[in-house]
Amino acid sequence: MGPQASCELYRLINLISIQEFHATKNSDFPHVLINSIPVSDLISDTQKRDDTVRLVNKGAQALCRAGATDLMLACNTMHAFSDEITKNVKCRFHSMIDIVIRALKKKKIRKALILSTRTTIKTNLYQDALDKAGIGYCLPEKKLLDISVRNILKFISGKFTPDDERKYIQLVIKEAKKHPDIDTILLACTEMPLIVSKIIPNYNKISSLEETARAACNLYFNSAVCKGAKAFK
């Protein structure tokens, strides 16, 4: 969720498998099941929350029945409802929020500007986790948040252009400069790494999608499945 973010997560899993775990042939890559569920998004409001959560819960259960052992959710916003989504789900669930916080701590990030959906901001998903970890953050002002949501929806519909990206990055830099202690732009929506694909000068860029892909690879390549495999010694 959404389909482009799920596709990018799978691409990153394969890329990281090659670059960091030296995968060279088909049998080297992780066994991945993807369930892309056509539900109503909760990017801006949660009016269809109950139906969406119920369908994603059913989708998670279906993955477990298909043989999945570990579950990751390629959408930050849906983590606000992770307890309900994982109810009666037998797979081990790995929170994208926890994964990102661990990455921020490892990289010694001081303060981040959070770019995400309106619902992610409203539910304090990252604010609470960052407070607990002792990492500083700034929330986008209303104008930037509104533009972020519009760009996410434009990207999902295939209407986002390179010029849209250029203008958006300029706005992000302008806002970050209002806070001299910001050292990182946190892409806390899984469409954001696709919207902000370029380097942002003078700032670290942390992608929730990339960190989740890396966590999935670490989980797989350090599992018993890969023990003794020559390519990963």
pLDDT digits (tens, 9 = 90+) for 170-213: 999 999 999 999 999 999 999 999 999 999 999 999 999 999 99
Give the separation between CA 148 and CA 115, rounded to whole angstroms: 7
Q: Which domains does the chain have, with CATH numbers?
A: 3-95+212-232 (3.40.50.1860), 97-207 (3.40.50.1860)
Predicted confidence band at 233 (pLDDT cuts at 50, 70, 90)? Answer: very low
Specify the 3-state DSSP secondary structure of 11.
helix
Specify the 3-state DSSP secondary structure of 205.
strand
For residue 139, give the DSSP letter. Answer: P
Give the separation between CA 219 and CA 126, rounded to whole angstroms: 23
In the chain the beta strands, taken as DSSP E runs, fall at 70-71, 92-93, 111-115, 136-138, 184-187, 204-207
What pairs with residue 207 in β-bridges?
A: 187
Give 195's contacts (C-beta < 8 A, 6+ positions apart).
151, 152, 155, 160, 164, 165, 168
Give the separation between CA 40 and CA 48, rounded to whole angstroms: 7
* pLDDT recorded at residue 224: 66
